[in-house]
Chain A
């Protein structure tokens, strides 16, 4: 399919996603966010995992690294520490981010690197053709669960708040302008921003019809700086709120590990202390 990316970030690559895949919408929104922020191509690094999300960086005329399954966050953190001036955007699916790579999320949250982590949650393993993922709904039939999924899904936003991410938002590619705004705000946020994307997979878990009815935009009455309010918001049973759920200002990982005030050392002098 043709890439629907616009502007100076687009290159001549075309994605191999299924027609109607939510990834096209997210791709467009990411490009719009870059545009809104006026980022230069060379200052962007897109870090992807393995799954349908893996081919995200190839669409952009930016730096990128297509990594291993589940390992977006450690690699993104290394990049951030090495050069805090870069705009590091991680992309991973629900399986990548919360099954095989789930162990990295809490530790990333507590370090608060200045990276934006877009989790494309389609509730299924799409690239391997339809196995249940950590967010597949209970009872949903897949090839591995012919009687319906027997395991309860995890709630990504609850986990994110429990882990202490400093920015949490949720969006839907059916509302590309809204999603682009959330991604731009995530990038603008200095710290670990997790963007939970309700992402339809038309081939194995089609939620295109379901989400417009179920989701509701978070209104101005919500104060994203209020942790308890954020918890209350994601606990809503009637609707799935989309928008900025939570944000908090804390020192970033690079600010924590790159201590410039320390006394400068000379190797020769250090060696002589070993006498």
Chain B
């Protein structure tokens, strides 16, 4: 089974909470879930949608057409009924939409949700929970599971609010026609449901992050919010900076003093952080920077998704600056790549940028409970302390990695340097120092390329040595591409696929092996200027067919499938 439900209404209607209750309930039953949301940049008003896909196989993306559209108002019907399958169902609020309007559709179900919330429950805002109960009953989720989820989600918000919402769920549940519930499996699942941003926060904590600094910016602000609620419980500290420069600066300062540190931002913030990223590269101070990309340039599209910061992440800033760039492909990957980001920052003493985007940052997926015992943590290489005159912090080593000391440690005193320097960290502008130190810093990336050559976290792939067509994607497009590849293969099209997670340095050995014998390379990405295709052209010398989209929305599997069949 494969069921896609969209909840649509105005921001402020509780559309997202209704969708979330259903999502958690369906996941508890044992179905795989995948959700996606969009919302306006204002707090109230403007269209808002939450899409939930439930399947008994692995659904990798938010899906294409809708089985059920839950419309909180008439405008939602007008905007979204085109996305319903021909036999899809419309669930609408009779108080907001005249029956005559909705009877245009063959399969429509209406109930007076607004007046029930207002008159029976005396809490107009609980309309969303009436809707959630109704939809839950309609698709066959039990009342007990719905109640359990509501208790879990709202239990901490006070008895009165919880009871009203439980009543709302029950009232909605009772309203639904019992005739044709959709068959759902009943194998309970132990998965946890996380958004990309939440997975990053938990990954950071698992990696040992104990300082977070950030400035509010959509769609990265949830990371600050979650950090505030969790990090102090692990003995960590949080600082809301006065801007992104201060936030990254504080993270670099804390890391210099020995605490693993992170900041998170979106495009405009990354632009402001650029000079500070150079300091981390030059002074060789580990730090992790999360960029939840949104439409750009300038203020751009704050609440819409895009993959257009790749160039900035890989090349941004003045001078030749070392950095590692990672791009997780789904929520589970967000957890593991964040741990990896900290490990690589510590190992190579440089900034590691984790690129997500609005869709991945805010969608939720069921994720298997991580095995915390199997997580490997890397710490920065510590220098042996001895009573010598002048610690060589930037010692030129064969692998480029120079052991560090921490303030407080006697005989390890040194000045971390922003200007070009000698081995002791003293300013040095001679030709020899700059060429030797540039080579030393970049030798760390050569070392990283060697040490990470076979790392399974670099890529995800579905190889096929006989396929002429190779698809290479990066980041959050993973799900839509995966699904498109499976469908193409089902249709008899030979195609191979690799999703790249390590974007700088590129895993060239894995890419070359994957591409061996391929005649065409298709690179789908969510930007206008084909940034990843250009990176591959430059680094691998390959020709690439680019599929781009700049609508502020993720790819659907269909869009990619059509292109695959066109070029195969």
Using a CB–CB cutoff of 8 Å, the interface residues on chain A facing chain B are 11-13, 40-43, 45-47, 50, 54-55, 57-58, 61-68, 71, 73-83, 85-86, 103-104, 107, 111, 253-254, 257-260, 262-265, 267-268, 270-275
Contacts and interface: CB of A to CB of B under 8 A. Distances in A.
Contacts of A83: 257-259, 407-408
A58 B427 contact: yes
B177 interface: no
Given A64-B415, A66-B416, A75 B250 contact: yes
Contact of A68 (B237, B275, B389, B413): B275
B242 A275 contact: no
Contacts of A77: 239, 250, 253
Contacts of A45: 257, 407
Contacts of B243: 103
A42 B412 contact: yes
B271 interface: no
A81 B259 CA distance: 9
Point out which of B230, B246, B407, B425 has the most chain A C-beta atoms below 10 A from its C-beta: B407
B242 A274 contact: no
Nearest to A74: B249
B202 A267 contact: yes
Contacts of B275: 68
B417 A66 contact: yes
B28 interface: yes
Contacts of A11: 390
- Counting chain A CB atoms within 10 Å of each CB, which of B243, B245, B246 scores highest? B246
Max count, chain A CB within 10 A of own CB: residue among B192, B242, B283, B369: B242
Interface of B: 24, 27-28, 152, 190-194, 198, 202, 205-206, 211, 213, 230, 232-235, 237-239, 241-243, 245-259, 261, 275-276, 279, 283, 369-370, 372, 389-390, 407-419, 425-427
A142 B249 CA distance: 33
Given A75-B253, A78-B251, A61 B407 contact: no
The 8 closest A-B CB pairs, nearest first, are A78-B253, A74-B249, A265-B233, A82-B257, A78-B250, A75-B253, A78-B254, A64-B415
Contact of A262 (B232, B276, B408): B232
Contacts of B247: 74
B372 A272 contact: no
8 contacts: A41-B413, A42-B411, A65-B417, A75-B250, A86-B408, A270-B230, A271-B192, A275-B152
Contacts of A104: 242, 246
Given A78-B211, A81-B239, A66 B408 contact: no
- Identify which of B234, B372, B408 gathers the most chain A CB atoms within 10 Å of its CB: B408
Contacts of B413: 41-42, 61-64
A272 B192 contact: yes
B246 to A, nearest CB: 4
B461 to A, nearest CB: 28
B257 A270 contact: no
Given A58-B415, A274-B198, A71 B211 contact: no
Contacts of B418: 50, 65-68
Given A66-B419, A82-B259, A103-B242, A71 B276 contact: yes
A160 B416 CA distance: 28
Contact of A13 (B241, B252, B426): B426
Nearest to B189: A275
Contacts of A263: 233
A148 to B, nearest CB: 33
B234 A265 contact: yes
B332 to A, nearest CB: 12
A147 to B, nearest CB: 33
Which of B238, B253, B276 is packed against the most chain A CB atoms within 10 Å?
A: B253
Given A63-B407, A274-B198, A55 B427 contact: yes
